[in-house]
Amino acid sequence: MKIQLNTDTHIEGTEALTVKVNNIIKKALVRFEEHITRIEVHLNNSKNGQIGQHDYRCMLEARLEGRKPLAVTEHAASIEQAVQGATQKLDHLLGSTLGRLYDRSSRKDIMSEGVEKIPRQILRLGRGNAGSKIPDSLRGELRTLNCNKDESS
């Protein structure tokens, strides 16, 4: 995971700032390290050098393998707070995005666990086709399946 730091003209991109930002991000996103190819960090001073509340903005853009980039933004009173807040938001976003992918791949499909023996015509009828007429040739199989289902419950 490569981290690229970009700053505006009002924030000095020193080596110490780069190390600090890299440590915050790497520590928080270590569990997603294998999925992230690059993180771009954009630090801005929204008040153009003047001091005030929520002056600093940190925008993090995570580039994932084979997926579109994900971006989050955080405004805070200091650069460190802005980076930590944006990192937390990115952690949650990556968790939900990648979690959905893993959840989808771990779900069992309808053709697993012995269902493969049921004719496809019956499976289609079980999808809620309210006005469908069941062919006479399949009624006996459907009754048998319903009886077996009741016994196993």
Q: Which of 39, 48, 102, 45 is nearest to 72 (CA)?
A: 39
- Regarding whether 123 and 144 lie in a shared domain, the answer is yes
pLDDT at 11: 87
- Regarding whether 10 and 53 lie in a shared domain, the answer is yes
Q: Which of 87, 126, 72 is nearest to 1 (CA)?
A: 87
- Regarding whether 131 and 102 lie in a shared domain, the answer is no
Q: Does the structure show a pLDDT above 90 at 23?
A: yes
Q: What is the mean pLDDT of the chain?
A: 77
- Regarding whether 132 and 85 lie in a shared domain, the answer is no
Domain, as residue range, for 124? 115-152
Tally of domains within the chain: 2
pLDDT in tens, 27-43: 999 988 889 999 999 99
d(CA 19, CA 24): 9
- Regarding whether 86 and 16 lie in a shared domain, the answer is yes
Going by pLDDT thresholds of 50, 70 and 90, the confidence category of residue 145 is: low
- Regarding whether 100 and 125 lie in a shared domain, the answer is no
pLDDT in tens, 75-89: 998 999 999 999 999
pLDDT at 45: 87
Prediction pTM value: 0.63
- Regarding whether 54 and 84 lie in a shared domain, the answer is yes
Where residue 87 sits, what CATH number does that domain have?
A: 3.30.160.100
- Regarding whether 85 and 52 lie in a shared domain, the answer is yes
